[in-house]
Amino acid sequence: MQVVEAFGQLCLITVFAWSGGQKMHGFRIFRGHVSTTVPRLGRLSSGMLATAVLLMELGVVASLMVRPLKRVGLATALLLLAAFTVYLLNLLRTRSNASCGCAGASGTPVSGAHLLRNAILLALTAGTWWAVVFTSGPSLSHYAIAAAPAAVTGITLLYLAELVSLFRMTHVK
């Protein structure tokens, strides 16, 4: 059970740290993406939303690193993932050619792979919450065992749509 908690915690830290870092690195592009894909907000409000998303992602990372705050981090992760899933569904319905902006300036159009990724991350977050509730916390050895697989899984999930697009078979005439 402690390995489940360590894996989920490290995987979510990887996803949110990578995503937040990419957004921070290309913040101007991310803010423009939010302004374009959520046009009703206006320029000022879309900048505030972009900043709030970035700060919440980094807040998830920070709170998942501190045992007493893990539940807060997991609850925030669930909230962000649920809201982002609704955002993706809306983009898929109204602007299917738009990028999701998941990791900053990704050019991959929103697709079902993004929804699958979010469903997996929501399930992972719920499973991690369950492990946190029923364990006394992982030891350093549990983190050591889970670190590499969690990091690989997190990055793979974050770029799942790009991987699907890379491996999609195309017919050459």
Does residue 117 form part of some domain?
yes
Does residue 172 form part of some domain?
no
pLDDT beyond 90 at 77: yes
Mean pLDDT of the chain: 88
Does residue 10 form part of some domain?
yes
pLDDT beyond 90 at 111: no
Its domain, for residue 121, covers 2-167
Q: What value, to the nearest 5°, has the Cα angle with vertex 70 and ends 79 and 147?
A: 105
* C-alpha distance across the termini of the chain, in Å: 52
pLDDT beyond 60 at 171: no
Model pLDDT, residue 45: 84
Model pLDDT, residue 81: 96
Determine contact, residues 162/106, Cβ cutoff 8 Å. Answer: yes
Model pLDDT, residue 35: 83
pLDDT beyond 70 at 169: no
Does residue 173 form part of some domain?
no
pLDDT beyond 90 at 107: no
Handedness of CA 72, 77, 80, 85 (dihedral sign): negative
Query: What is residue 99's three-state secondary structure?
Result: strand
Does residue 85 form part of some domain?
yes
Model pLDDT, residue 135: 83
Does residue 107 form part of some domain?
yes
Q: Which residue has the higher pLDDT, 45 or 102?
A: 45
Model pLDDT, residue 173: 59
Q: Which residue has the higher pLDDT, 125 or 26?
A: 125
Does residue 143 form part of some domain?
yes
CA distance linking residue 33 with residue 3, whole number of Å: 37
Domain count, the chain: 1
User: pLDDT category, 96, cuts 50, 70, 90?
Assistant: confident
Does residue 11 form part of some domain?
yes
